[in-house]
């Protein structure tokens, strides 16, 4: 009985405090908009349906503004279910940016193919809200539920073109990969929570990230804890599409509708990164010395496997998917560097700058990916899942603006100066140098050199080769042409901006 | 109660989990694959309840409810996808799915 009363007190202390709800206002807004999109679909006449994406986009901008306003506010929310700090608000803005760009790329794409735009925005907004929750979770329950809500939404978006066997097949394959990943992740957390429960004093919450870390500090070497940590890493590796868990990536990226592919490549990969960052700096922080070699192997493997497989690919979306695996390698290398730096310096220090660098790399990757995928989505194709490289041939004649957007986007993904992608890669290499991870550094440099080959074969098809004669230039709406071009130019401008800033500072 | 220990429960959970994992990796029928995924989740729930009982904490038992809810949502979407795919292609064997390949 006394135990139950103590539990009740603990429950009361975890009840929301004043300000808790206000601190998740952007998430409430985005999720509310998601539900509102369905309401609009029910009530609006056919002539007013353009309002649905418009409202969603304005709402995303507003949520981004709110997240920006939150600035540096930090602290535990909802009795330790959530933990906000300065980086939380950056992650939120990154996810909102991904959602906004997906909405812009996807609006006309789905309308043309007879899929429901309202449902698309509904699921997109709910996925975004839960990814934003994931970025601030500090408890196994919030972490797992947020990640799963996002993943289940992504299954739907993968199979969104219900008339296309390829889209459905991509959805099912993602379902199996995602289900496997969540089962591994959950089992990992269960074992960690079990170890924490054995060693923590009564009353401590063994699902709290901080208490798991406290328990692992003394008992991190126990087999159960090590198996748990390995399973958590494997689960997140699936989400991230990292070697050796990247088998699903090319199939799913190829079959999914192109806007979903862009969302998977950016938001879902960012979710894997933020999840990994939270886990290695939270519950698994005491195991840093054991973690960094494992992360380094995953990173090196992803860099090699992604780039070597992409060399042999003749499909644009598959090549981009496999290049995404190597980008995951770069991100993992950054995180491995972060973990190494932290374990060397005890608490924080110069390791502080490694997290902003990973975020900057993701931003560059998001811009480059949406420039490329936006151009692909705008291009008319026989079927969305067959986009062979040769279909891009002579794009510069057919649509110069799309060719320019595609080229600039690919240039940024490849890391050609002066694009932002170049600086992002240099910064990750700098992290590796500071962490003295020489093997990983060498692998990263080699992989950049290898990747140039297939990135350039895409650019060559689009710009140099001439189109077959007698082809009528397609009519592509202004927005669809402006978006990839604008994003492409943005990657260069941001790159030049960082160059000037580096030269002055 | 003394005769069964935490280790027994965990061993059983590990066996069920590995059976599920093997099934996901080996079996070719999508429905069976999907059942194996659910088996893995069931194993995690068994481990959660065992930890909850032997550590004297309620947290694990509470997490089980979240896992059940999430698994239900996943099944709803997953079965919808599999049924839609079956209607479209007439196959539920993952070896007969060939829309996606590099060619």
Interface ipTM: 0.93
| Closest alpha carbon to A354 in A373, A332, A324, A387 | A332
Q: What is the pLDDT of residue A7?
A: 59
pLDDT in tens, B17-27: 999 999 999 88
Q: Which residue has the higher pLDDT, A19 or A373?
A: A373
Put simply, whether B82 touches A (Cβ < 8 Å) is: yes
Quote the CA–CA distance of A273 and A358 in Å, as a whole number.
9
pTM for this predicted structure = 0.93
Output DSSP code: residue A264: I
pLDDT in tens, A344-394: 765 445 667 888 899 999 999 999 999 999 999 988 777 777 888 888 888
Which residues 6+ apart lie within 8 Å of B77 measured at CB?
A152, A155, A156, A175
> How far are the Cα atoms of A153, A230, A293, B14 from residue A234, in angstroms, in the given order?
21, 6, 14, 16
Q: Among B8, B23, B100, pick the best mutation site for testing chain A contact (most A Cβ within 10 A).
A: B100
Q: Please state, as a whole number, how many other Cβ atoms lie within 10 Å of the Cβ of residue A497.
A: 13
- Contact yes or no for A172 and B99 at CB 8 A: no
Which uninterrupted H or E stretch holds A461?
helix A438-463
Interface of A with B in 5-64 (CB under 8 A): 7
Q: What is the pLDDT of residue A10?
A: 61
Quote the CA–CA distance of A501 and A490 in Å, as a whole number.
16
pLDDT in tens, A111-139: 888 888 889 999 999 999 999 999 999 99
Put simply, whether B86 touches A (Cβ < 8 Å) is: no
| Closest alpha carbon to A412 in A445, A368, A363, A453 | A368
- Contact yes or no for A175 and B78 at CB 8 A: yes
Q: What is the pLDDT of residue A136?
A: 92
Q: Which of B59, B73, B97 sits opposite A206 (nearest CB)?
A: B59
Alpha helix stretches (DSSP H) within A113-208 = 117-134, 140-158, 165-199
Which uninterrupted H or E stretch holds B81?
helix B59-89
| Closest alpha carbon to A101 in A62, A57, A158, A69 | A57
CATH for B6-94 (1.10.287.70, 3.40.47.10, 3.20.20.140, 1.10.287.3510)? 1.10.287.3510
Put simply, whether A180 touches B (Cβ < 8 Å) is: yes
Which uninterrupted H or E stretch holds A84?
strand A82-84
Q: Which of A179, A184, A205 sits opposite B74 (nearest CB)?
A: A179
| Closest alpha carbon to A207 in A1, A342, A14, A75 | A14
C-beta of residue A456 within 8 angstroms of C-beta of residue A411: no
> How far are the Cα atoms of A138, A354, A376, A396 from residue A146, in angstroms, in the given order?
11, 25, 30, 43
Quote the CA–CA distance of B80 and A375 in Å, as a whole number.
31
Mean pLDDT of chain A: 88
Quote the CA–CA distance of A42 and A318 in Å, as a whole number.
37
Quote the CA–CA distance of A135 and A358 in Å, as a whole number.
14
Put simply, whether A427 touches B (Cβ < 8 Å) is: no
Domain layout of chain B by residue ranges:
6-94
Q: Is the predicted pLDDT of residue A279 greater than 70, yes or no?
A: yes
* Least confident segment among A28-42, A342-356, A435-449, A484-498: A342-356
pLDDT in tens, A87-113: 888 999 999 999 999 999 988 888 888
The strand pairing partners of A204, in sequence order, are: none
Put simply, whether A183 touches B (Cβ < 8 Å) is: yes
pLDDT in tens, B36-87: 999 999 999 999 999 988 888 888 888 999 999 999 999 999 999 999 988 8
Q: Among B14, B49, B54, B99, pick the best mutation site for testing chain A contact (most A Cβ within 10 A).
A: B99
Question: How many CB pairs below 8 A link A and B?
Answer: 149
Q: What is the pLDDT of residue A1?
A: 46
């Amino acid at each position: 009985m006394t135990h139950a009363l103590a539990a009740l007190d603990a429950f009361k202390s975890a009840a929301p405090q004043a300000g808790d709800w206000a601190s998740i206002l952007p998430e409430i807004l985005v999720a509310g908009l998601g539900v509102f999109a369905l309401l609009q679909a029910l009530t609006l006449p056919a002539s007013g349906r353009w309002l649905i994406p418009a409202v969603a986009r304005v709402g995303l901008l507003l949520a981004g503004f709110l997240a920006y306003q939150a600035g540096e506010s930090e602290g535990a929310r909802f009795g330790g279910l959530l933990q906000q700090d300065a980086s939380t608000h950056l992650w939120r803005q990154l996810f909102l940016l991904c959602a906004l760009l997906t909405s812009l790329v996807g609006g006309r794409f789905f309308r043309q193919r007879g899929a429901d735009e309202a449902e698309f925005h509904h699921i997109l907004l709910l996925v975004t809200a839960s990814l934003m929750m994931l970025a601030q979770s500090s408890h196994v329950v919030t972490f797992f539920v947020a990640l799963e809500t996002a993943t289940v939404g992504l299954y739907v978006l993968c199979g969104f073109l219900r008339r296309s066997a390829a889209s459905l097949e991509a959805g099912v394959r993602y379902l199996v990969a995602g289900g496997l990943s969540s089962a591994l992740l959950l089992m990992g957390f269960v074992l960690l929570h079990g170890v924490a429960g054995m060693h923590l004093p009564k009353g401590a919450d063994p699902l709290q990230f901080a208490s798991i870390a406290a328990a692992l500090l003394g008992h991190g070497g126990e087999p159960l804890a090590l198996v748990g940590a390995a399973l958590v890493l494997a689960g997140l590796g699936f989400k991230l599409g990292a070697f050796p868990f990247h088998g699903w990536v090319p199939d799913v990226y190829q079959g999914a509708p192109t806007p979903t592919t862009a969302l998977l490549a950016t938001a879902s990969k960012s979710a894997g990164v933020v999840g990994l960052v939270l886990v290695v700096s939270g519950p698994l922080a005491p195991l840093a010395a054991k973690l960094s070699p494992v992360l380094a192997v995953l990173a090196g493997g992803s860099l090699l496997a992604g780039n070597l497989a992409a060399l042999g690919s003749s499909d644009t979306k598959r090549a981009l998917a496999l290049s995404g695996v190597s980008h995951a390698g770069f991100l993992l290398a950054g995180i491995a560097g972060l973990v190494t730096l932290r374990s060397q310096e005890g608490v924080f220090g110069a390791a502080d700058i490694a997290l902003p660098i990973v975020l900057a790399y993701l931003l560059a990757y998001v811009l480059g990916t949406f420039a490329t995928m936006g151009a692909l989505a705008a291009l008319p194709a026989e079927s969305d899942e067959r986009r062979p490289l040769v279909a891009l041939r002579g794009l510069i004649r057919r649509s110069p603006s799309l060719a320019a957007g595609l080229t600039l986007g690919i240039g940024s993904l490849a890391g050609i100066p002066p694009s932002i992608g170049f600086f992002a890669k240099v910064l990750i290499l700098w992290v590796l140098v500071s962490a003295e991870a020489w093997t990983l550094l060498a692998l990263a440099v080699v992989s950049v050199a290898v990747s140039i080959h297939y990135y350039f074969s895409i650019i060559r098809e689009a710009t140099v080769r001439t189109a077959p004669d007698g082809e009528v230039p397609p009519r592509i709406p202004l927005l669809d042409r402006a978006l990839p071009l604008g994003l492409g130019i943005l990657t260069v401008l941001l790159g030049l901006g960082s160059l000037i800033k580096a030269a002055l500072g | 109660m003394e005769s069964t220990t935490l280790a027994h429960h965990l061993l059983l959970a590990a066996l069920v989990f590995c059976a599920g994992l093997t099934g996901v990796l080996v079996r070719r029928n999508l429905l069976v694959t999907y059942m194996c995924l659910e088996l893995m989740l069931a194993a995690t729930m068994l481990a959660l309840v065992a930890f909850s009982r032997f550590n004297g904490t309620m947290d694990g038992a509470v997490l089980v409810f979240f896992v059940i809810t999430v698994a239900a949502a996943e099944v709803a979407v997953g079965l919808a996808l599999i049924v839609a795919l079956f209607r479209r292609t007439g196959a539920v064997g993952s070896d007969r799915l060939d829309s996606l390949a590099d060619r």
